[in-house]
Chains A and B, each alone.
Chain A
């Protein structure tokens, strides 16, 4: 990609103004680690957001607000009761990428292998767009298609909110890759809520194995309101529930193979999340 200029705004307002003035020529830059994958022929003007004051994690009454420019490594280093994003960050490429890649960069443009769209779908995260007007959006809406469609020129992702995992709640993520630094072949994330031996809430999301991250509503419905299932029941249900998906070939692996991996990752995450929620195995 050819850049004709590189700008470093010192505030969110300045970044928004520059991008608004630049229009389609403006290219918001977060960690830039995925720029090699962008197939852009036109010259662009980079607007580097690293000085725009969008990094940092703050606790809220119900969880955390994470600035869009927060590096993935900072998600890993945080250790607090109910915080689960360290589990995702731990399996995120390499140290050098974790230090540079940002949460916002990972979700504002979704590649099939992106981890955090899958995770935020499961956690029902909230995304805040700084724009005209500022507005918040749930994960289901934000990740319905490419998130870029939600942004007008001059609008930016400002922060993401996730809830604290409480009593009776469990979360798990499963990710299959060939090597430590490889792209995911299948990423599954599950948030489960259990009360008095019953599954009272379930959000299951799958990515990488399919073109866009997606929830698995049939699988969620199969267990919600029911007694916490055993592992054999879970594995059996996962087999059928993923039948309707269109799997993609990843890294030379066949669609059939990826379908198997996706089922294993989904089953693993479901079993682990229910166990953490207090349901046992």
Chain B
């Protein structure tokens, strides 16, 4: 039995039709929002991270039906080629992007923290990114970049 899910997606009301067990990650990708990556598909790598009512969640572990009436933001909502988000600018400026597969998730996890606490400290930043893996192991530059956007005074 297919279900219609009404929700707020990237600033607009949306209706998506899904199978009851379909995850949010695959539903979003079917809608053309392929910035939501599917890596491990079991809640480890963080590449499918989206914001649900402002909090970072793994879209690969979430039933699409769960977001009925709620607000979802994906990487497509955060900046554009011509007007990148400050986090994207910082990551580019620091040379922090290698293969790039983890970037949507990294940016959204950091964005959730930035929105909630623009003066987040480094330990808070590191804790907030504990669910995002970079298989290129470029963590140092990623942290440098994200730290440069956060207003906290370090540890």
Contact = CB atoms under 8 A, between A and B. Distances in A.
A70 B68 CA distance: 19
Interface string B106-137: 00010010000000000000011111100000
Nearest to A36: B42
Contact of B62 (A4, A32, A180): A32
Given A8-B68, A29-B63, A99 B21 contact: no
A48 B127 contact: no
B43 A33 contact: yes
Interface string A1-36: 111111010000000000000000000010011011
Given A48-B66, A50-B66, A73-B55, A95 B61 contact: no
A33 B3 CA distance: 21
Interface string B1-14: 10100000000000
Given A32-B61, A46-B65, A97-B58, A5 B49 contact: no
B3 A95 contact: no
B66 A96 contact: no
B16 interface: no
Contacts of A48: 63, 65-66
Interface in A50-108: 50, 73, 93-97, 99-100
B135 to A, nearest CB: 14
Contacts of B104: none
Interface residues of B, number: 29
Nearest to B65: A6
B20 interface: yes
Nearest to A182: B44
B43 A97 contact: yes
B46 interface: yes
Contact of B109 (A95, A180, A181): A95
Contacts of B1: 4-5
Contacts of B130: 94-95, 180-181
Contact of A95 (B20, B42, B131): B131
A196 B3 CA distance: 63
A46 B61 contact: no
B57 interface: yes
Nearest to B59: A96
B56 interface: yes
B20 A96 contact: no
12 contacts: A2-B21, A3-B19, A3-B20, A3-B21, A5-B3, A8-B68, A32-B61, A46-B63, A50-B66, A93-B131, A97-B58, A100-B57
Given A5-B1, A95-B56, 5 more contacts: A2-B21, A6-B20, A36-B43, A94-B132, A97-B58
Interface of B: 1, 3, 19-21, 42-44, 46, 49, 52, 55-58, 61-63, 65-66, 68, 109, 112, 127-132
